Every structure is written in structure tokens, then in C-alpha cells.
Chain A
């Protein structure tokens, strides 16, 4: 099956700092989504971004499908950004199931 790797696995930031999270995948995809898992375990949709760039407030994402990676940018981080960030992909021709990466655990400190 498709492999999805995320880096870094853990990240600690001071409030106000910027960060970049990376997602690499091993095959062509027709769906890529970024999620934030909050401390209560809920998966919050951040972006649906199989290609191109999108921005939503302090967050933005870029997917370069031809090079098989996606980046999630967090600017001016806040303590509420803490949690786990997952990238999930649907392989082209692989049915409509999402394969999740192992996540990046982010902690934002005051």
C-alpha cells in the first residue's frame, strides 16, 4: 500500500513562532487532507489539498503532487494549536480510503 511519512514526529514551539510540517507519500494521490487532532481526540479538517496552495487564517498548505509531498505552515503559533497534525492521502486508483501518516505532535508553550 501507499506509504505516508510525516516529519518531524515531535515539535515544541514558543508561542508566536512559525513552523513547517511535512508529509511525504510514496505514490500518486487524488486526495490529500490535513487534520488537527485536538486534546479531546477530535479530528478537525484543516485542508483538502490534492494539489496547489490554500490559506486559512494563520494556516496554509501546499501540495506538490508531482514530487509527492505536502507542507503545512503554521504562523504565529498559539497554545491552542497544540495537538497532533495528521496528513492523510487517497491513492489514485486505490479505492476511496484515506491512509494516514503517523502524525506530528506539536506543543506550543507560553
Chain B
């Protein structure tokens, strides 16, 4: 069964460093998303992406964040200058339509 994959599974970085989280969505899906979950809290929407552009973003998704689909298979989330409060689990998701979303296993980001 096709699945969303994410790399790395765990990333440790120092405050102020740039990180890129990578995702490979399900191959025939057209809609892509990033969510995050701070430890012990609920999952929050960050951004959705369709037709090579951002379709919606939350207020969390400020200028420090960017997304890109650099080729036909990868979907990336870049955090330009990480802060301690960016420590969280980041989930990528994809969907073939505007309905059921399939989630990847997540990348745990730790900012020290």
C-alpha cells in the first residue's frame, strides 16, 4: 500500500540554524500539507500546497518557514533560523482530492 515517507525521523539542530524536512507524498496525490505537534499538545495545521503554490497557511507559518516541491516526488519544509519553540513533531500529509489526508510518520525536530 502506498504511503507517505519522511526523512529524517529525528533531527537535532542548534538555535539559529536552518533545517530542511523532507517528505515524499503518495505518487498520484496532488495536495500536500505540513502539520506540527508540540509535545503533549494537539496537531496543528501549518500549510497546504497545490499546483506548485501555497493554497493556505496558518498564522504559525511566518516568514521563517517556506515550502517547496523541488521535483516530481519531494515536498520540503524549510525553517530558516530555528528557535527553541520550533521543537516539535512535524507531519507531512498528502491527498488525491480535497478530502482524505494520509499522514507520514513524522520528523521529530529538537532545537537546542
Contacts and interface: CB of A to CB of B under 8 A. Distances in A.
A30 B45 CA distance: 17
A48 B100 contact: yes
A90 B42 contact: no
Contact of A100 (B43, B95, B99, B105): B43
B42 A98 contact: no
B105 A86 contact: no
A95 B99 contact: no
Given A31-B99, A33-B100, A48-B100, A100 B42 contact: yes
A95 B55 contact: yes
Interface string A20-58: 000000000011010100001111010010100000000
Given A98-B35, A100-B44, A41 B106 contact: yes
A80 B101 CA distance: 24
B33 A97 contact: yes
Interface in B23-69: 31, 33, 35, 37, 42-45, 48, 55-56, 58
Interface of B: 31, 33, 35, 37, 42-45, 48, 55-56, 58, 89, 91, 93, 95, 98-103, 105-106, 108
23 contacts: A31-B99, A33-B100, A35-B103, A41-B105, A41-B106, A42-B105, A42-B106, A43-B91, A43-B103, A45-B100, A50-B99, A86-B43, A90-B98, A95-B48, A95-B55, A96-B31, A96-B56, A98-B33, A98-B93, A99-B45, A100-B44, A101-B42, A103-B42
